[in-house]
Protein backbone atom coordinates (compact mmCIF):
# COMPACT_ATOMS: atom_id res chain seq x y z
CA UNK A 1 0.00 0.00 0.00
CA UNK A 2 1.31 3.52 -0.87
CA UNK A 3 2.22 5.07 2.48
CA UNK A 4 1.56 8.62 1.22
CA UNK A 5 -2.16 7.84 0.82
CA UNK A 6 -4.00 8.21 4.15
CA UNK A 7 -5.53 4.98 5.37
CA UNK A 8 -7.89 4.19 8.22
CA UNK A 9 -7.23 1.60 10.95
CA UNK A 10 -10.71 0.09 10.80
CA UNK A 11 -12.12 -1.43 13.97
CA UNK A 12 -15.73 -2.03 12.95
CA UNK A 13 -18.57 -0.88 10.71
CA UNK A 14 -22.03 -1.07 12.26
CA UNK A 15 -24.78 -0.22 9.71
CA UNK A 16 -28.46 0.73 9.93
CA UNK A 17 -28.51 2.42 13.31
CA UNK A 18 -31.66 4.45 13.91
CA UNK A 19 -31.38 7.73 15.87
CA UNK A 20 -28.66 6.21 18.10
CA UNK A 21 -25.66 8.35 17.23
CA UNK A 22 -26.98 11.08 15.00
CA UNK A 23 -30.09 11.98 13.06
CA UNK A 24 -31.85 9.37 10.88
CA UNK A 25 -30.23 6.16 9.73
CA UNK A 26 -26.51 6.07 10.37
CA UNK A 27 -23.59 3.72 9.93
CA UNK A 28 -21.10 3.79 12.78
CA UNK A 29 -17.48 3.55 11.60
CA UNK A 30 -14.91 3.11 14.36
CA UNK A 31 -11.14 3.08 14.38
CA UNK A 32 -8.28 1.79 16.49
CA UNK A 33 -6.17 4.18 18.52
CA UNK A 34 -7.01 6.45 21.45
CA UNK A 35 -4.93 8.96 23.44
CA UNK A 36 -6.80 8.21 26.69
CA UNK A 37 -6.55 5.24 29.02
CA UNK A 38 -9.98 5.19 30.64
CA UNK A 39 -10.17 2.73 33.51
CA UNK A 40 -13.58 1.32 32.51
CA UNK A 41 -12.97 1.41 28.75
CA UNK A 42 -15.44 -0.83 26.94
CA UNK A 43 -13.35 -0.70 23.77
CA UNK A 44 -10.18 -2.15 25.27
CA UNK A 45 -8.92 -3.44 21.93
CA UNK A 46 -9.63 -0.10 20.26
CA UNK A 47 -7.18 1.80 22.47
CA UNK A 48 -4.05 0.67 20.71
CA UNK A 49 -3.28 1.06 17.02
CA UNK A 50 -0.84 -1.69 16.08
CA UNK A 51 1.09 -2.25 12.86
CA UNK A 52 -0.77 -5.42 11.91
CA UNK A 53 -4.24 -3.86 12.05
CA UNK A 54 -6.16 -3.78 8.76
CA UNK A 55 -6.07 -0.33 7.19
CA UNK A 56 -8.52 0.68 4.48
CA UNK A 57 -8.45 3.43 1.84
CA UNK A 58 -11.15 6.06 1.30
CA UNK A 59 -12.37 4.07 -1.72
CA UNK A 60 -12.68 0.90 0.35
CA UNK A 61 -14.58 2.73 3.08
CA UNK A 62 -16.96 4.29 0.56
CA UNK A 63 -17.58 0.88 -1.04
CA UNK A 64 -18.48 -0.57 2.35
CA UNK A 65 -20.97 2.11 3.39
CA UNK A 66 -22.58 3.24 0.11
CA UNK A 67 -25.20 0.44 0.03
CA UNK A 68 -27.36 2.45 2.46
CA UNK A 69 -27.12 5.72 0.50
CA UNK A 70 -30.90 5.98 0.00
CA UNK A 71 -31.60 5.46 3.72
CA UNK A 72 -29.10 8.18 4.65
CA UNK A 73 -30.57 10.64 2.15
CA UNK A 74 -34.22 9.86 2.97
CA UNK A 75 -33.77 10.18 6.75
CA UNK A 76 -31.16 12.92 7.00
CA UNK A 77 -28.65 10.37 8.24
CA UNK A 78 -25.16 9.38 7.22
CA UNK A 79 -21.96 8.26 8.87
CA UNK A 80 -20.88 8.54 12.49
CA UNK A 81 -17.18 8.19 13.17
CA UNK A 82 -16.16 6.86 16.58
CA UNK A 83 -13.25 5.12 18.20
CA UNK A 84 -10.94 4.79 19.79
CA UNK A 85 -10.58 8.44 18.84
CA UNK A 86 -11.61 9.33 15.26
CA UNK A 87 -9.84 12.70 15.37
CA UNK A 88 -6.52 10.83 15.34
CA UNK A 89 -7.54 9.95 11.76
CA UNK A 90 -8.28 13.53 10.65
CA UNK A 91 -6.12 13.36 7.46
CA UNK A 92 -7.95 10.26 6.28
CA UNK A 93 -11.36 11.73 7.11
CA UNK A 94 -10.58 15.02 5.36
CA UNK A 95 -9.54 13.04 2.28
CA UNK A 96 -12.78 11.00 2.43
CA UNK A 97 -14.98 14.10 2.78
CA UNK A 98 -13.20 15.87 -0.08
CA UNK A 99 -13.33 12.84 -2.38
CA UNK A 100 -17.04 12.05 -2.04
CA UNK A 101 -19.77 14.70 -2.27
CA UNK A 102 -22.44 12.44 -0.82
CA UNK A 103 -25.11 14.67 0.70
CA UNK A 104 -24.87 12.50 3.84
CA UNK A 105 -24.59 13.89 7.37
CA UNK A 106 -21.32 13.31 9.20
CA UNK A 107 -21.21 12.92 12.97
CA UNK A 108 -18.20 12.58 15.21
CA UNK A 109 -18.06 10.81 18.57
CA UNK A 110 -14.96 12.21 20.23
CA UNK A 111 -13.20 12.88 23.53
CA UNK A 112 -11.60 16.03 21.97
CA UNK A 113 -8.35 14.94 23.68
CA UNK A 114 -6.26 15.70 20.59
CA UNK A 115 -4.38 18.75 19.28
CA UNK A 116 -6.73 21.58 18.20
CA UNK A 117 -5.36 21.33 14.61
CA UNK A 118 -7.00 17.89 14.31
CA UNK A 119 -10.37 19.28 15.39
CA UNK A 120 -10.11 22.38 13.21
CA UNK A 121 -9.25 20.44 10.07
CA UNK A 122 -12.63 18.71 10.04
CA UNK A 123 -14.88 21.62 11.07
CA UNK A 124 -15.98 22.31 7.45
CA UNK A 125 -17.29 18.76 7.10
CA UNK A 126 -18.79 17.71 10.45
CA UNK A 127 -22.51 18.24 11.00
CA UNK A 128 -22.74 17.08 14.60
CA UNK A 129 -20.35 16.43 17.49
CA UNK A 130 -21.01 13.99 20.33
CA UNK A 131 -18.38 14.87 22.92
CA UNK A 132 -17.60 12.43 25.71
CA UNK A 133 -16.20 14.83 28.30
CA UNK A 134 -15.82 12.24 31.13
CA UNK A 135 -15.73 14.93 33.84
CA UNK A 136 -15.07 18.66 34.05
CA UNK A 137 -13.27 18.08 37.33
CA UNK A 138 -9.54 18.15 36.53
CA UNK A 139 -8.44 15.60 39.15
CA UNK A 140 -11.23 13.13 38.33
CA UNK A 141 -10.45 13.38 34.63
CA UNK A 142 -6.77 12.73 35.30
CA UNK A 143 -7.46 9.79 37.63
CA UNK A 144 -9.95 8.15 35.27
CA UNK A 145 -8.25 8.70 31.90
CA UNK A 146 -4.57 8.92 32.94
CA UNK A 147 -4.37 12.24 31.02
CA UNK A 148 -4.89 15.91 31.76
CA UNK A 149 -8.33 17.20 30.79
CA UNK A 150 -7.02 20.63 29.85
CA UNK A 151 -6.86 19.84 26.15
CA UNK A 152 -10.45 18.61 26.12
CA UNK A 153 -11.69 21.67 28.01
CA UNK A 154 -9.80 24.12 25.77
CA UNK A 155 -10.90 22.34 22.59
CA UNK A 156 -14.52 22.27 23.72
CA UNK A 157 -14.44 26.02 24.34
CA UNK A 158 -12.89 26.68 20.91
CA UNK A 159 -15.28 24.30 19.15
CA UNK A 160 -18.28 25.96 20.78
CA UNK A 161 -17.05 29.33 19.55
CA UNK A 162 -16.56 28.02 16.01
CA UNK A 163 -19.66 25.86 15.42
CA UNK A 164 -22.20 26.94 18.07
CA UNK A 165 -24.09 24.93 20.64
CA UNK A 166 -26.67 23.43 18.23
CA UNK A 167 -24.01 21.23 16.67
CA UNK A 168 -22.67 19.83 19.92
CA UNK A 169 -23.98 17.29 22.39
CA UNK A 170 -21.84 16.69 25.47
CA UNK A 171 -22.17 13.43 27.34
CA UNK A 172 -21.22 13.17 31.01
CA UNK A 173 -21.04 9.66 32.41
CA UNK A 174 -21.54 8.75 36.04
CA UNK A 175 -18.29 6.82 36.58
CA UNK A 176 -18.45 4.34 39.48
CA UNK A 177 -15.53 4.63 41.90
CA UNK A 178 -14.27 7.81 40.22
CA UNK A 179 -16.89 10.43 40.98
CA UNK A 180 -20.24 11.09 42.60
CA UNK A 181 -23.65 12.11 41.29
CA UNK A 182 -22.99 15.57 42.76
CA UNK A 183 -19.80 15.85 40.70
CA UNK A 184 -21.63 14.73 37.57
CA UNK A 185 -24.19 17.46 38.23
CA UNK A 186 -21.41 20.00 38.86
CA UNK A 187 -19.84 19.12 35.48
CA UNK A 188 -23.22 19.76 33.86
CA UNK A 189 -23.47 23.17 35.55
CA UNK A 190 -19.99 24.10 34.31
CA UNK A 191 -20.90 23.12 30.74
CA UNK A 192 -24.15 25.12 30.90
CA UNK A 193 -22.16 28.11 32.18
CA UNK A 194 -19.88 27.80 29.13
CA UNK A 195 -22.96 28.20 26.89
CA UNK A 196 -23.53 24.57 25.93
CA UNK A 197 -27.18 23.56 25.96
CA UNK A 198 -27.37 19.92 24.89
CA UNK A 199 -25.94 17.91 27.77
CA UNK A 200 -26.70 14.30 28.49
CA UNK A 201 -25.95 12.68 31.84
CA UNK A 202 -25.88 8.90 31.88
CA UNK A 203 -24.48 5.99 33.91
CA UNK A 204 -21.84 3.56 32.82
CA UNK A 205 -23.19 0.01 32.77
CA UNK A 206 -20.56 -2.10 34.46
CA UNK A 207 -20.01 -5.46 32.84
CA UNK A 208 -18.41 -8.60 34.30
CA UNK A 209 -14.97 -7.39 33.20
CA UNK A 210 -15.41 -4.19 35.17
CA UNK A 211 -16.84 -5.88 38.25
CA UNK A 212 -13.84 -8.21 38.46
CA UNK A 213 -11.55 -5.17 38.39
CA UNK A 214 -13.54 -2.98 40.80
CA UNK A 215 -10.93 -3.21 43.55
CA UNK A 216 -7.97 -2.45 41.29
CA UNK A 217 -6.55 1.04 41.70
CA UNK A 218 -6.76 3.15 38.52
CA UNK A 219 -3.00 3.19 37.97
CA UNK A 220 -2.98 -0.59 37.55
CA UNK A 221 -5.32 -0.49 34.52
S1 LIG B 1 -11.98 7.50 25.16
FE2 LIG B 1 -13.22 5.68 24.72
S3 LIG B 1 -11.88 4.28 23.56
FE4 LIG B 1 -10.56 5.84 24.52
S5 LIG B 1 -9.87 4.85 26.41
FE6 LIG B 1 -11.69 6.12 26.90
S7 LIG B 1 -13.45 4.73 26.74
FE8 LIG B 1 -11.68 3.74 25.71
Distance 40 CA to ligand 1 centre (A): 8
- Whether the per-residue pLDDT at 38 is higher than 70: the answer is yes
Q: Are the beta carbons of 10 and 56 closer than 8 angstroms?
A: yes
pTM, two decimals, is: 0.91
Q: State pLDDT tens for residues 121-146.
A: 999 999 999 999 999 999 999 999 99
- Whether the per-residue pLDDT at 218 is higher than 80: the answer is no
CATH H-level, domain 8-220: superfamily: Aldolase class I (3.20.20.70)
pLDDT band at 44 (very low <50, low <70, confident <90, very high): low
Domain boundaries, the chain: 8-220
Q: State pLDDT tens for residues 174-215.
A: 988 898 999 999 999 999 999 999 999 998 876 655 555 554
pLDDT at 45: 62
> Average pLDDT, stretch 11-28?
92
Q: Are the beta carbons of 104 and 52 closer than 8 angstroms?
A: no
**Ligand 1 atom closest to residue 40's alpha carbon, by position in its atom list:** 7
pLDDT at 210: 57
CA atoms of 133 and 96, how far apart (whole Å):
26
Q: State pLDDT tens for residues 65-116.
A: 999 999 999 999 999 999 889 999 999 999 999 999 999 999 999 999 999 9
Q: Which of 11, 48, 111, 142 to mutate to test the pocket of ligand 1 (most atoms within 8 A of CB)?
A: 111
**Ligand 1 atom closest to residue 84's alpha carbon, by position in its atom list:** 3
Pocket of ligand 1 (CB under 6 A): 34, 36-38, 41, 43, 46-47, 83-84, 111
pLDDT at 207: 65
CA atoms of 154 and 22, how far apart (whole Å):
24
CA atoms of 161 and 157, how far apart (whole Å):
6
- Whether the per-residue pLDDT at 1 is higher than 60: the answer is no
Residues 6+ apart with CB under 8 A from 119: 87, 90, 110, 112, 155, 158, 159
- The residue contributing the CA closest to ligand 1 atom 6 is 38
Q: Which of 33, 38, 81 to mutate to test the pocket of ligand 1 (most atoms within 8 A of CB)?
A: 38
CA atoms of 169 and 109, how far apart (whole Å):
10
Distance 34 CA to ligand 1 centre (A): 6
Distance 86 CA to ligand 1 centre (A): 11
Amino acid sequence: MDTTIPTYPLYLISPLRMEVDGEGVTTLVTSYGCPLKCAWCINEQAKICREEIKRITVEELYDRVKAHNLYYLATGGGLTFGGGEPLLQCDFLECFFQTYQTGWKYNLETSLAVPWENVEKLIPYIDYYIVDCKSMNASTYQAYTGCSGQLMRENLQLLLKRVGTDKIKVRIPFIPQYHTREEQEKSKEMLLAMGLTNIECFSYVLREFHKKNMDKPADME
